[in-house]
Structure 1
């Protein structure tokens, strides 16, 4: 591959870098550092208080449970939809691609309301029939999983699609010409080529799932100890003047997401300076 062109460093380069660093510091690093600071204001007291609260512990457990299921759903369907968009031509492909980005452009509150109108047990379009069949969606973990999967759906797909375009189909066609079946071709050719894009998409989906608030609040009913996730617990504790517990819970959520991103960044192979 061609070598990267190294641009000479000028005063303008340093100014631009300084502006970017300042922007990221004020928008991201400083606010997050304040959460960490307030979490440890009294040593480990806030963390101990949060982890000794049964409602907070349940909320954290429910959040991890929901996030894992949402990631599994988005991984399976994300891979399938990505292959469909890149490898096949069919009527309505542009519409499907646009619909995938809908969760990123619509407010999560609207998403939650739409899901409630569809799966609500009383007035929902499908909810009463599902309830008669013994399936509770709204105000239950299943509804929380659906809402979380909806808002994080595009993250896996938008990581995979560019990589699938880049690798092309030559190796896949060669494998098929040698007698490999579709599953064998996917497992031995396609998946190894896109594995890091898939891993990064999964991590982004996990981070997004852990922090979802609006859609989950509508679909869960926000019942402490039953359907309250960690983000909803943070809001409740903060409004109840239990700021230390709210800070500690926020810190734990951020810690999980940041740790996942750091691990992937460390393990992901680095490109050589010449781009090989």
Structure 2
């Protein structure tokens, strides 16, 4: 007597409506809006940049690359990246390791601080740097008296770059380390490894691809 009930239940289960209930028109409108937004705010500026760069021909573009101002800008960019990226890697690994592997007071606060650059406008962060290090800022008089220049100089550019980019490495590693748990590290410690060896030979290889993506 149970067989007919099972047979009658199976077709009913298979004929259930899909989870997506939006009409074809609604989905089409959403896709058009999404692609239009990406086109206007991402692709169009990129196209204009390349159009203006090559507006006078490839010769003018090549000649512009050889100008002193251009070479100086490229050197500055590479210098800031060479300083910011290693610092972000060190901070990101340290913060992710602490948050994912340990329990301590202030853990939630540290996580909030890591997300801060995602919620604060770069304009606001720039204003904060001006209020701190500007001529009329909180530390401006002291910096001027000691001949230290931060704003409109390499230190200011490095600080701003680090601020807006430091969450990326940490945010890639934290969920990855949390998902992996502490089992591998505990096994390494039980076999006689110290904390540094467990990190270097166990933790770091397990997160190398996430670290590379964050960098």
**TM-score under structure 2 normalisation?**
0.76
Q: Separation in 1 of the partners of 2:94 and 2:188?
A: 19
Q: Separation in 2 of the partners of 1:70 and 1:128?
A: 27
Superposition map of 1:217-256 within 5 A: none
> What stretches of structure 1 move > 6 A for 4+ residues in a row?
none
DSSP 3-state at the match of 1:101? helix
Q: Separation in 2 of the partners of 1:79 and 1:34?
A: 38
Query: Can you give the 5+ residue segments of structure 1 that lack an aligned partner in the other structure?
Result: 1-6, 203-276
How far does residue 80 in structure 1 lie from its aligned partner after superposition? 0.4
DSSP 3-state at the match of 1:95? helix
Identify if the C-alpha distance between structure 1 residues 126 and 90 changes in structure 2 by more than 3 Å, giving closer, same or farther: farther
Q: Among 128, 152, 159, which residue is 2:172 paired with?
A: 159
- Partner residue, 2:63: 49
Deviations 1:9-45 (A, max 9, x none): xx96x95996566654454334423432443344313
- Partner residue, 2:206: 193
Higher relative contact order (CA 8 A, sep 6+): 1
Deviations 1:187-217 (A, max 9, x none): 1111111111111111xxxxxxxxxxxxxxx
Identify if the C-alpha distance between structure 1 residues 125 and 26 changes in structure 2 by more than 3 Å, giving closer, same or farther: closer
How far does residue 132 in structure 1 lie from its aligned partner after superposition? 5.2
Identify if the C-alpha distance between structure 1 residues 168 and 29 changes in structure 2 by more than 3 Å, giving closer, same or farther: same
Which has the larger Rg? 2
Matched, 1:91 2:105: yes
Q: Separation in 2 of the partners of 1:58 and 1:52?
A: 10
Identify if the C-alpha distance between structure 1 residues 23 and 137 changes in structure 2 by more than 3 Å, giving closer, same or farther: closer
Matched, 1:39 2:48: no
Superposition map of 1:109-148 within 5 A: 109-120=123-134, 122-129=135-142, 135-148=148-161
How far does residue 178 in structure 1 lie from its aligned partner after superposition? 0.6
Deviations 1:173-197 (A, max 9, x none): 0001111111111111111111111
Q: Separation in 2 of the partners of 1:41 and 1:29?
A: 18
Matched, 1:178 2:196: no
Superposition map of 1:23-38 within 5 A: 24-38=38-52
Q: Separation in 1 of the partners of 2:115 and 2:139?
A: 24
DSSP 3-state at the match of 1:179? coil
